[in-house]
Amino acid sequence: MSDQLYNVGLVNGPIASNPAENIMEYNGYLMIIPQIVGPDSEITLKFEGIDAKTIKFSDTNTKEWIAGHKYVYSLKEGDYTFKVTPANSTCTYAGDSIKLNFISEYINQNNQIQDLGWTAEIVSATPDNEYWTGIFNNLSDTNGGTITKSLYVTPSEFTTTNEDDLKLRDTEPSTYETKTNLSMIGSSYYTSNTYIANSSGWFKFLCTVMGNAIDNGSSPTTPNNTDCIDSGPANFVNYLGQTISSISALNIDTKGATAQLLWSDVPGLISNVKISDDNQYIEFYISPQAIRQGNAVIGIEKDGKIMWSWQIWVTDWILNTENQTIGNGYPDIMPFAIGRCSAATYKYETRSITIRFTQETSNLTQEVTITQKDQTLIFGENAPFYQWGRKDPMLASDGLAETSKPNYGNNLFSIFPSTASQNLNEGILNPNIFYPTIGKPGSWFTPFNPQLWGNFSSAGGSDVKTIYDPSPIGYQVPSLSLIMNFISMGYKYENTPIPGYWFSPNNNTDYTIFMASNGMRNQGGNIGYMNSQQNIGFYWSNTNYYWTDTIAEQELVLNLIFPSTATHLPIYYQENPSASAINIISSVIASGNE
């Protein structure tokens, strides 16, 4: 057909009405040059008040216009369907994936269905368009049809007056090109089970070895720290339960492996987790919008099994600073528990977006509004708990009551339903799971090994930092004698700003060491000793003791316990300690390095 424009009809400015009306009056004719009606033949009609409509002739019975013949066509537009239905139109401050169900099609007079595409545009957004611009771009679609699309709403931004969080937010982010190497100090490599990040931006750490297998090393792939397995740890095993009998067995086979965020106690804190192209590092990103004090666990996985995992502690505290001096030949200790987060309030504001979808050809429109709800989170001083001998943190309390902090991710923290003791490697395979044990001997794992956290002094060696030690670089779980030394000196209890005990290593009024009363997770995994009447603190050492009575052999550990109502500071033996989870305050390794 010709693409020439014709003035149809003898009526001045013919207008079609609904229902259909004949607009060709007075025997008016439209003279058409004889031609074949091919697959591309079409006619474009312009009706008043709406956009032009193009209708194809390819489905007509007439295939050729012959000279001297008259052809009459009834041109009627088919039916357009355009529906956009959100599966959910609201989400929490923590973000969510909003599913939008689309039906976009045209049915002609022969009941043939044609899928029609659509465009998407922002109509309004609060607080402004800057946040929303990048997240809805995939909602336009040129193919159309009946499909489901997802709009991912990231966690809201928050406001806070907490000075520690404001320091983190004001720190310059590291770029992808200059990502911070958490496994390097100076020009040497150091590895650990906990890494500390002090800013937003891009980071990486070595994933080629277990724990602290590289100490002041020159190679990122060669374990060199024989201390981390000391001598004869027959029960040190990898994720498959295989005995680790040599330093070379501490390598992790990263070929074909993947890395993922398991859980975090801050929404949207860590993303873009992956293994580097050279298979030596795990890389991750900390969002400048989401950054605040918190903890996360990242795992490396192959064949559906987690081979190892690491804690990321986001804090304004700089590694190896503000250490507290014990004296008497003992190493210093950290200023607070591993993973500590100070008391803070976070306010997340409501925000929303309205998107207009427009169907092609028909120009039918539909608007959808997505609202992200506001939230205020209030936390007291808190720190993750640890089961004795395990390298991974257990979710902390909210610091105010016997309630867990929220956690986010693909493998949320959970409590195992069975009370049976596990093999040691189960803790490696499942770093997000607390293993309860009821009854005696009460250890979460079997067979029991009292040297998992480096207490080799009872076997004639010296205390070391092992591959299961959860301390960051330069620190290790303290010995019992170290803890006994400073808690036997002067102390005082304070309830403000947070409950806990101050200690004076010099037995005078100069109280320099503070240990918070953060409660614990009991043998069943539930948080205890956190309420307004009773705040008690529990801290691990690296030591387990055994004693035998006439009934059964029981495991006991000397724990630090701080009852706020006590007139003196008691030290209790706690039965079945390895099933519970409590805090750790680490000591500095004597050399100052790994």
User: What pTM was estimated for this model as a whole?
Assistant: 0.84
| Contacting residues for 529 by C-beta, under 8 A, at least 6 apart | 402, 517, 519, 520, 535, 536, 538
Residue 431, CA distances (Å) to 78, 443, 445 in order: 59, 17, 14
Q: Which residues pair with 386 in a beta bridge?
A: 582
DSSP string covering 187-198: TEEE--SEEEE-
Q: Which of 52, 121, 114 is nearest to 81 (CA)?
A: 114
Q: Which residues pair with 514 in a beta bridge?
A: 502
The pair of three-digit structure tokens given for residue 256, joined into one six-digit string: 């074909």
What CA–CA distance (Å, rounded) separates 577 from 555? 7
Q: What is the 3-state secondary structure (H, E, C) of 299-347?
A: EEEECCEEEEEEEEEECCCCCCCCCECCECCECCECCCCCCCECCEEEE
Q: Note the pLDDT of residue 411.
A: 93
525 phi and psi angles, rounded to 5 deg: 95, -5
Domains of the chain: 1-77 (no CATH), 80-154+349-377 (2.60.40.10), 166-343+380-588 (no CATH)
Pairing relationship of beta strands 433-434 and 414-415 according to DSSP bridges: parallel
What CA–CA distance (Å, rounded) separates 357 from 136? 11
**Could you tell me if 361 and 540 are in contact, meaning their C-beta atoms sit under 8 angstroms apart?**
no
**Could you tell me if 539 and 451 are in contact, meaning their C-beta atoms sit under 8 angstroms apart?**
no
- Write out residues in the chain with pLDDT < 70, as ranges: 1-33, 39-40, 45-62, 73-77, 109, 128-131, 133-135, 230-234, 439-442, 458-460, 507, 531-534, 544-577, 590-594
Rg of the Cα trace of the chain?
Answer: 34
Q: Which residues pair with 492 in a beta bridge?
A: 502
Length of the chain: 594
Identify residue 493 by its one-letter amino acid code.
Answer: Y
The pair of three-digit structure tokens given for residue 375, joined into one six-digit string: 């939230």
What CA–CA distance (Å, rounded) separates 161 from 132? 26
Q: Which 3 state secondary structure label does DSSP give 453?
A: coil
Identify residue 38 by its one-letter amino acid code.
Answer: G
